[in-house]
């Protein structure tokens, strides 16, 4: 029997969208797409359109391209000033006005795109390049819970160990 491989579709590539909702063209923002297969360096700038008069236009545009969020960087004379600020659609308030906080922007994708992009939710590269974000703590807690479940399943295979004792053993081992 042959091996089964799962394939996760790569992120949508940017295509200019027609402005059918507004009387004037939206503002142009350059965003570092960070898709691995497009450029060995990983930084390709795309024109990203938002309407600064519409506070929801940034979130709509990010969702349209399957992005989970955005990193906002500050550069002065070509030098990065500090770490980037991470904004995730499901965790943060993201009015279009946040784009005024920096001058370089990077796309952040869901964790399911990990094989295709540099910055994805939960990725180590992202964690090293941005300020601490509440989602990092949540991911650590989820990993710890998964580890405890794995220990419980391993103990479950042993015969004669009551469920309450298994739970107590897993908790004691985590504290050590």
> For 76-124, how does the pLDDT look when each residue is reduced to its tens digit (9 = 90+)?
877 777 888 899 998 888 888 888 888 788 888 888 888 878 888 888 8
**How far is the C-alpha of 30 from the C-alpha of 7, rounded, in Å?**
29
> pLDDT at residue 148 above 90?
no
Residue 86 has what pLDDT?
A: 92
CA distances from 161 to 19, 91, 151, 156, 167 (A): 64, 40, 13, 7, 10
Q: What angle do CA 31, 33, 36 make, to 5 degrees?
A: 160
> pLDDT at residue 168 above 60?
yes
Residue 8 has what pLDDT?
A: 46
Residue 87 has what pLDDT?
A: 93
Residue 161 has what pLDDT?
A: 58
The pTM for the full model equals 0.61
**Residue ranges of E strands in the chain:** 27-32, 45-50, 69-73, 75-76, 79-80, 85-88, 104-108
Residue 64 has what pLDDT?
A: 84
Residue 124 has what pLDDT?
A: 87
pLDDT tens digits, residue range 27-79?
656 666 565 544 444 455 566 678 888 888 889 888 888 889 988 888 787 77
pLDDT tier for residue 162 given thresholds of 50, 70 and 90: low
Residue 31 has what pLDDT?
A: 67
Strand pairing class (69-73; 45-50): unpaired
Residue 106 has what pLDDT?
A: 84
**How far is the C-alpha of 140 from the C-alpha of 112, rounded, in Å?**
17
CA distances from 34 to 40, 45, 109, 114, 144 (A): 10, 8, 9, 11, 29
pLDDT tier for residue 16 given thresholds of 50, 70 and 90: low
């Amino acid at each position: 029997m042959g091996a089964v491989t799962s394939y996760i579709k790569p992120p949508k590539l940017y295509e200019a969208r027609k402005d059918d909702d507004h009387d004037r063209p939206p503002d142009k923002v350059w965003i570092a797409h960070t898709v691995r297969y497009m450029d060995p360096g990983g930084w390709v700038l795309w024109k990203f359109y938002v309407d600064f008069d519409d506070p929801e236009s940034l979130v709509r545009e990010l969702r349209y391209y399957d992005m989970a969020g955005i990193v906002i960087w500050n550069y002065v004379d070509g030098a990065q000033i500090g770490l980037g600020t991470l904004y995730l659609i499901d965790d943060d308030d993201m009015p279009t006005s946040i784009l005024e906080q920096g001058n370089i922007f990077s796309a952040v994708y869901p964790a399911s795109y990990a094989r295709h992009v540099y910055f994805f939710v939960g990725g180590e590269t992202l964690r090293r390049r941005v300020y601490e974000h509440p989602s990092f703590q949540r991911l650590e807690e989820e990993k710890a819970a998964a580890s405890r479940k794995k220990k419980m399943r391993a103990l479950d295979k042993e015969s004669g160990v009551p469920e309450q004792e298994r739970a107590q053993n897993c908790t004691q081992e985590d504290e050590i």
